[in-house]
Amino acid sequence: MAWMIRRRRGLQLPLAEATRMPPRIYGSILAVGVPTAGENIAYKSVIDDVLAELSAATVRASCSGVAFKRIWIDPGIGFAKTAANSVEVLAALPRFVRLGYRVIVGPSRKSFIAAMERAAGVPESSPSQRIGGTAAAITAAVLGGAHAVRVHDVKEMRQAVLLTEALRSIGGLSLGTSGSGGSARGGFAC
């Protein structure tokens, strides 16, 4: 079993030191393009800014000796972003996939789902009631080329992933990834 070391600020010194451990210890590196949870940032362009931060983090990881195949990127849906920012990042996922690294997305039960309900005049759901919104976000992530997702409701989200991949395989369904993500890279992992 591989372990993942996750740093929200994208490869700081202690993580670089950790990468000297054997691969069975450190597994994969997640370079997350956000500062800290709970702080919304006034982005000039959320997509361009996060892409730039992730690109810089992947360079730091590579320069620290982390193998390309061990670097994963996470655009940080729900972290340091407004609900609108999170939806924008999810819609732009193909741009993150085009960086060439494996992409992991974690939209499960996040507050941006409740914010979409609020904006539609629907009563806000609690986190445990956001399974439908999570399934929609997971579907968008798979169509956008994500290689893995972090979820709470594994059985239900596995169904969403399997159906999305089946639809994509017979109809070319995508969000503009040109077939470069998910199954085309060796399978999707929940």
User: Looking at the predicted structure, is the pLDDT value of residue 5 above 70?
Assistant: no
Domain contains 99: yes
Tell me, what CATH number does 137's domain have?
A: 3.20.20.20
Residue entry with tokens 């892409």: 51
Domain contains 143: yes
pTM above 0.85, yes or no: no
Residue 124 has what DSSP assignment?
P
Would you state the structure tokens that stand for residue 7, as one six-digit string? 């740093």
Calculate Rg over the CA atoms of the chain: 16
User: Which pLDDT does position 61 carry in this prediction?
Assistant: 81
- Residues spanned by the domain of 152: 4-185
User: Looking at the predicted structure, is the pLDDT value of residue 9 above 90?
Assistant: no
Amino acid type, 5: I
Domain contains 64: yes
User: Looking at the predicted structure, is the pLDDT value of residue 181 above 90?
Assistant: no
Domain contains 56: yes
Domain contains 190: no
| pLDDT (tens digit per residue) in 119-173 | 999 999 999 999 999 999 999 999 999 998 989 999 999 999 999 998 888 876 6
Domain contains 118: yes
| pLDDT (tens digit per residue) in 38-86 | 567 888 999 999 999 898 888 888 888 888 888 888 998 988 899 999 9
Domain contains 109: yes
Q: How many domains does the chain have?
A: 1
Sheet arrangement for strand 102-105: 4-7, 28-32, 71-74, 102-105, 148-149
> Residue 25: enclosing H or E segment and its boundaries?
helix 23-26
